[in-house]
Structure 1
Amino acid sequence: MTVYGRYVKRILDFLLALIGIVILSPLFFVLAVLVRTKLGSPVFFKQERPGKNEKVFTLCKFRTMTDKRDENGNLLPDSIRLTKFGKILRATSLDELPELLNILTGDMSIIGPRPLLVSYLPYYTEEEKLRHTVRPGLTGLAQVSGRNFIDWDSRFKKDVEYVRNLSFGMDMKVLWLTVRTVLGRGDVAEDTNVTEGNFAEIRKKRLEETGSLERIENNV
């Protein structure tokens, strides 16, 4: 890894995250109040995700869904619990702002492969595992190359491409494309399985067809 990847990138991440938190603190406060008023408590959505070297950390975002349940106490489908306000938060990527705290603590980077679910870990190929050799990002090459509208294989190829070509120039390219995408409100990323389907289930089916599923699960 280059000097930029080893040292400079982390310094820039820390400084930019700190500046962002200070400047955006009024917006943080307003969004927190709106989320509490419109969606209830807790204000933040927290979930364990794998980071660099597959070390698990707690991802923090503004919640975008309610806790509505059926008569048996089970949560209703995401499509029902996702409100109009929640859709606006996702469409503008404002729900991602609390991840600046994850960047500040060193669990994430501004640019990098998006952190996915811990349950996905057993199903990556050796090449795809390269995505966990760097810190996960607030945005990444895959997200500006189609976001949820590309399939899992294509998404992971973009993640690996990013890792293998990590440089200041690559990060500036992704940052510029992110700004352009968010302002254009195109291909908005969501942490749901609505568009591409659950990765673990898709990969399980593929492994079953090749007879490799039992071997993978025995190693979990």
Structure 2
Amino acid sequence: MTGSSVPRPYDVVKRAGDVFVSAALLVATAPIQAGVAAVVAKNLGRPVLFRQERPGRDGRVFTLLKFRTMRPVDEARGWVTDEERLTPFGKKLRSTSLDELPTLWNVLRGDMSLVGPRPLLVEYLEWYSPEQARRHEVRPGVTGLAQVNGRNALSWEQRFALDVEYVDRRGLMLDLKILASTVRAVLTREGISAEGHVTMNKFGEADGG
């Protein structure tokens, strides 16, 4: 289902940088994360963390960590779709990207990298073309080339093309450029959602998947 990893010398350096930076950021953002956790608990209840299985490098599944932004599914209350479950508080939290801070633990553990293709749903693995599956030749990232070139406003075809482009072009200068652009994208809140959706339409729903 997924491409085989093709290691590069840079990948070793990148992993060392991921460990150092994620550890430093976890320490630096600890007070912020504690505050966000308290606000999430007040607005959405417990648990404060959202956990979901996602495919990583070579399609190996890991548990992604984020702060919760949605109510649980409750058909009696009409909380079924993402649009119905996402609260105004959750939407605001997503727009700041503070909900992603726990994902730094995934980086520290080696599930993810700071930069790489974003980890999507496990169910998508069987739908990728061989070319699209190449996005799994590297660790998924907290941010990536697609995230600084449109984020959720991109079509799936555009997103996958950028993911594979990153796999082929990955290197220190590209990673630094993506990280710098991510700061700008977060501050301007660009591409938070796709047109007509609170986040991104599911793979296969709109532009042919």
Structure 2 length-normalised TM: 0.90
Which segments of 5 or more consecutive residues in structure 2 lack a partner in the other structure? Answer: 1-6
Bigger relative contact order, structure 1 or 2, given CA contacts below 8 A and separation 6+? 2
The corresponding residue for 2:49 is 44
Partners of 1:109 and 1:189 in 2: how far apart? 23
Question: 2: distance between equivalents of 1:168 and 1:132?
Answer: 19
Extract unaligned runs of 5+ from structure 1.
Answer: 207-220
After superposition, give the CA deviation of every residue in 1:167-214 in whole Å (9 maximum; x if it has no partner): 001101110110111111221268x965653214558x67xxxxxxxx
Query: Contact (CA 8 Å) 1:152, 1:196: kept in 2 or not?
Result: no
Q: Which residue is equivalent to 2:145?
A: 141
User: Could you tell me how far apart the structure 2 residues matched to 1:92 and 1:120 are?
Assistant: 27
Q: Which residue in 2 is equivalent to 1:185?
A: 189
For residues 17-43 of structure 1, the C-alpha deviation after alignment (integer angstroms, 9 at most, x for no partner) is 000001110011111111001111110
Matched, 1:166 2:175: no
CA distance in 1, matches of 2:132, 2:180: 25
Amino acid at match of 2:61: V
Equivalence for 1:80:
84
Alpha-carbon separation, structure 2, partners of 1:179 and 1:193: 23
Q: Does 1:4 align with 2:10?
A: yes
AA partner of residue 139 (structure 1): T
1:29-65 CA distance string (max 9 Å, x none): 1111110011111100000000001000000000001
Q: CA shift at 1:75, angstroms?
A: 4.1
Deviating 4+ runs (over 6 angstroms): none
How many matched pairs? 202
SS in 2 for 1:49: strand
Q: Which residue of 2 aligns with 1:213?
A: none
After TM superposition, the score normalised by the length of structure 1 is 0.86
